[in-house]
RNA sequence: GCGGGCGUGAUGGAAUGGUAGACAUAACGGACUUAAAAUCCGUGGGCCCUAGGCCGUGGGGGUUCAAGUCCCCCCGCCCGCACCA
């Protein structure tokens, strides 16, 4: 009996594929292409199960398409800039560059052990000047076209570390490392004008028909187009150097219900008030501690500061509204000021209740008595008719909006306006490990682009992480240079790009990774768009939206002509595992725990262990399984097969030991089938009739079903097809020539069908079955559709929608015959109880429903 | 707070509005074995259990000949929110 030796088999075929360069994309652009891409990894040092899942999914698609005759591009590389490298530098003294490159080297070995069909010749790392120099040029071209600009913006500032913090580094308002209270600070930063494309990015979501609906919705909401009005409220006094406040609203219909004006803490009016008020200064400082994230701002308790100033209501003469500075108004959205209508906006109501401001309902829900309609702590945001609104009374909300807009425009107090929630993309980061922004600051000439001939601006290698702050700013010489315009001494920009910059065009680089121009137009236009992009749903908005923007911006500056970068998108779910804690609440690794029936014990101490919830694998909860150990123990094919079984790819999956065992057992089982000495010789023709025919049909059904399932990315069902075929092979007993010929055919089919999922064992079995050619080069079997459909079908018969009997009928039999057969069934006759059926519904080949 | 998703046997899941639970995992029974593992065969939603029947897709309502699937309301859990990638 041949033993299934996964490590030996996997090593053998990985070497063969590499020697034959089996998975290199061809430059023959006359062939139909297929571009499969998985989101490239950050080189953290070791692969985790999320990677295994992601790359297995992509590999199945790549191998399947290749077998079907496509010229497949399936590349891999490294998203190599980022914060963890700097943390390693601070915590362990490692240089970000060497730390990253070592991580890449070890992860590459791990990835290769998975047997992924990558074209490794196209690999690159974004931290190398050979990559990032191109984006420096792209940035300068954006700048020329006005797609990049500089403005002041807010950052989280850690006063102890003298550094800018990412939102994730702010924990409960404090710096994660220092514990110091984080402040908001204004810095001058570079922005890309993504808002220029807001309408196009929104409208084109329609064309992304192979994207998950939820991602399209998220992008839609993120862009957040809202139509409304800009309304001017004139100040009634003149104690500040401003005569009016501009407010953006989507609800001009509720203007009569306005009871206050609220401005952002960094609104010009707030700053003007602060010049003469200590309390205002304190309140603004308080708001600055909130952090910069939207979630922090919106979940914070609504607080405000009454400036003592007021504005005139534009429609009600003599009425004034107080102006507050409020912590829930964002300067980045709209005009940084709102009018509060507490009755019909929850935030405004919370605020009004806290500060005793009046609440006037102006929209009455249908079928409600105005005298009973009182707003206490729940705002009414639904439809209705206007009340308490002068001439507008009786209008419905929608027409009220139009009438309000006309009125405001007539009075010169407001204009129709469309705003987007989408903000321009701030790309400046005050960090070392990123692509330097190619700008030189001159006292006389201002911000001057580095001349194209002087690119790339490379990072200095000798940096010091022991001092607080940005090492690029602390570097003794790197920043000093001369102004390209006037020649005087000048200073380099010390900020680097957001790492989303690199990932916004890497898919283009793969098309032509050695190009001196980033990528060539021809290669990009042949390979793009990516036919199937696969990655985590956490990228549903930012990375995908930035890439869509980049594609447009690069088109604008002449790099290519492409509507959308990713034609098909699949977002995979997370890999989860049960969590375990000991009696002290300390998290335990699954390898430390042994299960005994329903209870768990610590493997060494024998102490009882509490098995907790199934959660996303994370280092902090220790519920992780190391892919390397799984691959060593069971083999990559087992790991891959288990990843694909059971859970649909877009859903979260649970990693279980028994599941891995099950996948391993299945592979061993089919390995035995393929090594069966009693099979007839290679090339034996399968029977076309007689006793083996049912097994042949089962093989064709599997070919058809599995191909459909892979095309539809339903890999769990594809695995079920394989099980069903394997079971059919096992169930077919007998040794007649017809049966053994059918069995060989079914086993060969099974081997071909499993090859995209478990490629190494498939090659080995193909070889054992007597084939000299590599399975990877053997094409894809096509089902004979005449063998798929059964000739007789079991059809359910319902009485009043309840299943009462099943009858067997020939396929596609006439409706009347089906009805007669159903009504002749003794069971049905009994249910009819001698009454004539009222109605009989016959759905051919499916169901018959008798209505009594 | 806003936005998005998910909820079906003990478990992961399957099901163009048409026989709910394909396929697998755990469990149980049997065969083989001195024994165990492996392997093979079988049982496998719940209840009343007699042919048979009743109830079942988070909860409640509705549309339909027919609802896991469509519509409305509610509950629970998970994810994202612009400097993590």
Q: Which comes out higher in pLDDT, residue A284 or A444?
A: A444
Q: Which comes out higher in pLDDT, residue A20 or A345?
A: A20
Chain A 50-69 residues in 7 Å CB range of strand B: none
A59-62 contact pairs (CB < 8 A, 24+): A59/A114, A59/A115, A59/A116, A59/A117, A59/A640, A59/A756, A59/A759, A60/A644, A60/A710, A60/A715, A60/A718, A60/A756, A60/A757, A61/A36, A61/A532, A61/A534, A61/A710, A61/A713, A61/A756, A62/A23, A62/A34, A62/A36, A62/A117
For A627-643, the pLDDT digits (tens) are 999 999 999 999 999 99
Average pLDDT over residues A286-298: 74
What are the CA-CA distances from residue A682 to residues A233, A486, A767, A768, A771 (Å)?
A: 87, 79, 11, 10, 7
pLDDT over 80 (residue A368): no
Write out the E strands in A80-141: none
Nearest to A751 by CA among A785, A788, A703, A715: A703
* Confidence label for A418 from pLDDT (cuts 50, 70 and 90): confident
Quick one: tokens of A385? 């008719």
Strand B contact with A188 (CB < 7 A): no
Strand B contact with A653 (CB < 7 A): yes
What are the CA-CA distances from residue A752 to residues A475, A712, A764 (Å)?
A: 59, 19, 11
Helix axes A715-731, A636-644, angle to 10 degrees: 110
> What per-residue confidence (pLDDT) applies to A169?
76
> What per-residue confidence (pLDDT) applies to A377?
74
How far apart (Å, rounded) are the C-alpha atoms in residues A190 and A497? 9
A158 φ, ψ (degrees, to nearest 5): -95, 110
Beta-bridged to residue A489, according to DSSP, are A482
pLDDT over 90 (residue A829): no
Q: How many CB atoms lie within 10 A of CB A832?
A: 15
Report the nucleotide nearest the CA of residue A838, measured to C1': B65
Report the nucleotide nearest the CA of residue A154, measured to C1': B83
CB-facing half-sphere around the CA of A269: CA atoms within 13 A: 31
Query: B4 C1' – A216 CA distance, angstroms?
Result: 10
Chain A 738-777 residues in 7 Å CB range of strand B: none
Q: Which comes out higher in pLDDT, residue A605 or A387?
A: A387
Q: Which nucleotides of B are covered by protein (CB under 7 A)?
A: 1-6, 11-16, 18-20, 22-26, 38-41, 53-54, 65-67, 78-85
Q: List CB contacts of A629: < 8 A, sequence separation 6 or more.
A: none
Q: How many CB atoms lie within 10 A of CB A432?
A: 25
How far apart (Å, rounded) are the C-alpha atoms in residues A670 and A11? 20
How far apart (Å, rounded) are the C-alpha atoms in residues A374 and A788? 67
Strand B contact with A659 (CB < 7 A): yes
Q: List CB contacts of A651: < 8 A, sequence separation 6 or more.
A: A573
Q: Are A492 and A481 in contact (CB under 8 A)?
A: yes
Chain A 783-812 residues in 7 Å CB range of strand B: 793-796, 798, 800-804, 806
Report the nucleotide nearest the CA of residue A661, measured to C1': B25
Beta-bridged to residue A167, according to DSSP, are none
> What per-residue confidence (pLDDT) applies to A597?
62
How far apart (Å, rounded) are the C-alpha atoms in residues A282 and A303? 13
Beta-bridged to residue A616, according to DSSP, are A576
Rg (CA), chain A: 34
Report the nucleotide nearest the CA of residue A217, measured to C1': B4
* Confidence label for A105 from pLDDT (cuts 50, 70 and 90): very high
Q: Rounded to 5 degrees, what angle do the CA atoms A22, A28, A29 make?
A: 130
Q: List CB contacts of A194: < 8 A, sequence separation 6 or more.
A: A201, A422, A423, A424, A425, A545, A546, A549
Query: B28 C1' – A679 CA distance, angstroms?
Result: 36
What are the CA-CA distances from residue A619 to residues A48, A189, A446, A690, A785 (Å)?
A: 10, 34, 47, 58, 49
Q: Are A409 and A383 in contact (CB under 8 A)?
A: no
Query: B79 C1' – A29 CA distance, angstroms?
Result: 41
What are the CA-CA distances from residue A576 to residues A596, A653, A655 (Å)?
A: 21, 6, 6
Average pLDDT over residues A231-256: 86
* Confidence label for A298 from pLDDT (cuts 50, 70 and 90): confident
Q: Are A491 and A441 in contact (CB under 8 A)?
A: yes
Largest CA distance in chain A: 106
For A4-22, the pLDDT digits (tens) are 999 999 999 999 999 999 9
Average pLDDT over residues A320-345: 87
H helix intervals, A355-483:
397-411, 471-474
> What per-residue confidence (pLDDT) applies to A238?
66
A792 φ, ψ (degrees, to nearest 5): -120, 140
Query: B55 C1' – A829 CA distance, angstroms?
Result: 25
How far apart (Å, rounded) are the C-alpha atoms in residues A223 and A196? 12
Query: B64 C1' – A799 CA distance, angstroms?
Result: 15
Task: Kindly state the helix (H) or strand (E) to which residue A842 belongs, with its residue range.
Answer: strand A839-843
Q: How many CB atoms lie within 10 A of CB A354?
A: 12
Report the nucleotide nearest the CA of residue A848, measured to C1': B18
Query: B60 C1' – A651 CA distance, angstroms?
Result: 28
Strand B contact with A460 (CB < 7 A): no
How far apart (Å, rounded) are the C-alpha atoms in residues A540 and A533? 12
Query: B37 C1' – A596 CA distance, angstroms?
Result: 17
Cis peptide before A323 (omega within 30 of 0): no
For A163-220, the pLDDT digits (tens) are 787 777 777 777 777 788 888 888 899 999 999 999 999 999 888 988 888 888 888 8
pLDDT over 80 (residue A161): no
For A561-581, the pLDDT digits (tens) are 999 999 999 988 888 888 888
Average pLDDT of every residue of chain A: 89
What ipTM did this prediction achieve? Answer: 0.92
The string of DSSP letters for A32-44 reads PEEEEEEPPPP--
Closest protein CA to C1' of nucleotide B26, residue: A658
Report the nucleotide nearest the CA of residue A333, measured to C1': B82
Helix axes A6-20, A759-768, angle to 10 degrees: 90
For A126-157, the pLDDT digits (tens) are 999 999 999 999 999 999 999 999 998 888 88
How far apart (Å, rounded) are the C-alpha atoms in residues A29 and A776? 21
pLDDT over 70 (residue A598): no
Quick one: tokens of A308? 């003592």
Q: Are A127 and A433 in contact (CB under 8 A)?
A: yes
Cis peptide before A404 (omega within 30 of 0): no
For A473-518, the pLDDT digits (tens) are 999 999 999 999 999 999 999 999 999 999 999 999 999 999 999 9
Nearest to A494 by CA among A191, A193, A189, A143: A189
Query: B72 C1' – A362 CA distance, angstroms?
Result: 27
How far apart (Å, rounded) are the C-alpha atoms in residues A249 and A251? 5
Q: How many CB atoms lie within 10 A of CB A322?
A: 18
> What per-residue confidence (pLDDT) applies to A1?
59
Report the nucleotide nearest the CA of residue A724, measured to C1': B23
Write out the E strands in A28-135: 33-38, 71-73
Chain A 272-311 residues in 7 Å CB range of strand B: 292-295, 298-299
Strand B contact with A500 (CB < 7 A): yes
Strand B contact with A666 (CB < 7 A): yes
Q: How many CB atoms lie within 10 A of CB A793?
A: 17
Chain A 580-609 residues in 7 Å CB range of strand B: none
Q: Rounded to 5 degrees, what angle do the CA atoms A673, A675, A676 make?
A: 70
Q: Which comes out higher in pLDDT, residue A433 or A585?
A: A433
Chain A 610-629 residues in 7 Å CB range of strand B: 616
Q: Which comes out higher in pLDDT, residue A112 or A586?
A: A112
> What per-residue confidence (pLDDT) applies to A805?
87
Pair type for strands A320-326 and A260-263: parallel
Helix axes A627-634, A657-674, angle to 10 degrees: 30
What does DSSP assign to residue A685?
Answer: P
Strand B contact with A1 (CB < 7 A): no
Chain A 360-419 residues in 7 Å CB range of strand B: none
Query: B28 C1' – A767 CA distance, angstroms?
Result: 40
Query: B68 C1' – A379 CA distance, angstroms?
Result: 36
How far apart (Å, rounded) are the C-alpha atoms in residues A48 and A618? 10
Percent of chain A at pLDDT > 90 equals 50
Strand B contact with A222 (CB < 7 A): yes
Characterize A718-737 residue by residue with b for buried, 16 or more Cβ atoms within 10 angstroms of its Cβ, and e for exposed. bbbbbeebbebbeebeeeee
Q: Are A73 and A33 in contact (CB under 8 A)?
A: yes
Strand B contact with A79 (CB < 7 A): yes
Percent of chain A at pLDDT > 70 equals 99
Report the nucleotide nearest the CA of residue A170, measured to C1': B83
User: Helices (H), strands (E): how many in chain A?
Assistant: 26, 35
């Amino acid at each position: 009996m041949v033993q299934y030796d996964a490590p030996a088999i996997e090593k053998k075929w990985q070497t063969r594929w590499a020697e034959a360069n089996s998975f290199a994309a061809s430059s023959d652009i006359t062939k139909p292409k297929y571009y499969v891409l998985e989101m490239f990894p950050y080189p953290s040092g070791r692969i985790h199960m999320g990677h295994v899942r992601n790359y297995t999914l992509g590999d199945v698609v790549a191998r399947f398409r290749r077998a079907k005759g496509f010229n497949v591009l399936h590349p891999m590389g490294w998203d190599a800039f980022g914060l963890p490298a700097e943390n390693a530098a601070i915590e362990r003294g490692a240089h970000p560059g060497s730390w990253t490159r070592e991580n890449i080297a070890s992860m590459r070995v791990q990835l290769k052990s998975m047997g992924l069909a990558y074209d490794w010749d196209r690999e690159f790392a974004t931290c190398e000047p050979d990559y990032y120099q191109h984006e420096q040029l792209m940035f300068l071209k954006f700048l020329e076209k006005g797609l990049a600009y500089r403005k002041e913006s807010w950052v989280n500032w850690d006063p102890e570390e003298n550094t800018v913090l990412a939102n994730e580094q702010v924990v409960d308002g404090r710096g994660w490392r220092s514990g110091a209270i984080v402040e908001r600070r204004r810095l001058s930063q570079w922005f890309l004008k993504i808002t220029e494309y807001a309408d196009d990015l929104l409208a084109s979501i329609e064309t992304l028909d192979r994207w998950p609906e939820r991602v399209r919705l998220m992008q839609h909401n993120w862009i957040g187009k809202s139509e409304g009005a800009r309304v001017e409220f004139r100040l009634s006094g003149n104690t500040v150097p401003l005569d009016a406040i501009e407010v953006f609203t989507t609800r001009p219909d509720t203007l009569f219900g306005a009871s206050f004006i609220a401005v952002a803490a960094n609104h010009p009016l707030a700053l003007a008030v602060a010049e003469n008020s200590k309390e205002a200064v304190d309140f603004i400082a308080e708001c600055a501690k909130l952090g910069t994230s939207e979630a922090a701002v919106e979940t914070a308790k609504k607080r405000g500061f009454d400036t003592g100033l007021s504005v005139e209501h534009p429609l009600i003469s003599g009425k004034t509204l107080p102006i507050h500075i409020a912590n829930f108004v964002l300067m980045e959205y709209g005009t940084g000021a709102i009018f509060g209508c507490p009755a019909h906006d929850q935030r405004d109501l919370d605020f009004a209740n806290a500060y005793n401001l009046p609440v006037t309902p102006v929209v009455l829900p249908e079928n409600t008595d105005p005298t009973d309609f009182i707003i206490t702590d729940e705002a009414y945001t639904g439809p209705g008719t206007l009340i308490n609104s002068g001439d507008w009374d009786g209008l419905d909300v929608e027409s009220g909006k139009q009438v309000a807009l006309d009125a405001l425009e007539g009075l010169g107090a407001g204009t129709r306006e469309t705003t987007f929630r989408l903000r321009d993309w701030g790309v400046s980061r005050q960090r070392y490990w990123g692509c330097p922004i190619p700008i030189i600051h001159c006292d006389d000439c201002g911000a001057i682009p580095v001349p194209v001939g002087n690119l790339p601006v490379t990072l200095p290698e000798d940096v010091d992480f022991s001092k607080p702050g940005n090492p690029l700013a602390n570097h003794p010489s790197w920043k000093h240079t001369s102004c390209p315009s006037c020649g005087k001494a000048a200073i380099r920009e010390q900020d680097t790009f957001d790492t989303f910059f690199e990932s916004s065009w890497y898919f283009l680089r793969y098309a032509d990774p050695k190009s001196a121009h980033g990528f060539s137009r021809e290669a990009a236009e042949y390979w793009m768009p990516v036919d199937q992009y696969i990655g985590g749903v956490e990228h549903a908005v930012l990375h995908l939206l930035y890439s869509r923007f980049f594609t447009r911006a690069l088109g604008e500056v002449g790099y290519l002509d492409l509507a959308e970068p990713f034609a098909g998108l699949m977002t995979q779910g997370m890999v989860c595992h049960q969590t375990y804690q000991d009696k002290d609440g300390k998290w335990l690794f699954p390898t430390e725990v042994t299960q005994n029936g329903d209870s768990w014990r610590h493997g060494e101490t024998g102490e009882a262990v509490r098995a907790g919830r199934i959660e996303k694998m994370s280092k902090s909860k220790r519920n992780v399984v190391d892919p390397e150990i799984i691959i060593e123990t069971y083999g990559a094919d087992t790991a891959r097969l288990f990843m694909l079984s059971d859970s649909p790819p877009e859903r979260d999956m649970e990693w279980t030991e028994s599941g891995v065992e099950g996948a391993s057992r299945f592979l061993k089982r089919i390995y035995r089938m393929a090594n069966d000495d009693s099979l007839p010789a290679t090339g034996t023709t399968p029977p076309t009739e007689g006793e083996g025919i049912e097994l042949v049909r089962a093989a064709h059904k599997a070919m058809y079903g599995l191909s459909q399932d892979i095309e539809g990315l339903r890999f769990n069902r594809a695995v079920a097809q394989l099980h069903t075929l394997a079971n059919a092979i096992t169930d077919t007993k007998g040794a007649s020539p017809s049966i053994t010929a059918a069995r060989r055919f079914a086993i060969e089919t099974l081997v071909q069908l499993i090859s995209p999922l478990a490629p190494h064992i498939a090659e080995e079995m193909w070889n054992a079955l007597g084939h000299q050619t590599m399975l990877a080069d053997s094409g894809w079997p096509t089902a004979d559709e005449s063998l798929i459909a059964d000739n007789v079908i079991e059809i359910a018969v319902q009485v009043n929608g309840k299943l009462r009997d099943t009858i067997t009928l020939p396929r596609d039999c006439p409706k009347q015959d089906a009805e007669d057969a159903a009504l002749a069934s003794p069971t049905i006759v009994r249910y009819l109880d001698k009454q004539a059926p009222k109605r009989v519904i016959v759905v051919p080949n499916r169901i018959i429903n008798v209505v009594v």
